[in-house]
Amino acid sequence: MRISKAGNKYLRELLVNGAHYILGFRGPDNDLRRWGLTRAGSGKAAKKRAIVGVARKLAVLLHRLWVTEEVYVPVRSEVAAA
């Protein structure tokens, strides 16, 4: 399925802005950033698709954390090592 513009416009805006920050040069090192940078590749269209993908993953992650009341661990590889 394609990404649609359904739903709350303000929430979509916030998620995309968050994705821009995560993929930007000041973004913290975490799994979402690593995933997005691998998808960004080269080219403007690839970067835009990566931003929308990270925004969607961010929405799913935030919803999951809200429902389960889990604590977010930004980088999973550190948890496996500990």
pLDDT class of 1 with cuts at 50, 70, 90: low
Report how far residue 26's alpha carbon sits from residue 42's, in angstroms, rounded to the nearest whole number.
Answer: 19
Of 21, 42, 43, 41, residue with least CA distance to 32: 21
pLDDT tens profile 17-53: 999 999 988 888 888 899 898 988 888 888 998 999 9
Domain ranges of the chain: 9-81
Query: Which pTM was predicted?
Result: 0.80
| Residue 54 clears pLDDT 80, i.e. is over it | yes
How far apart CA 38 and CA 7 sit, in angstroms, is: 28
Burial class (CB in 10 A: 0-12, 13-18, 19+), 40: middle
pLDDT given at position 27: 84
Locus of tokens 């993929």 = 23
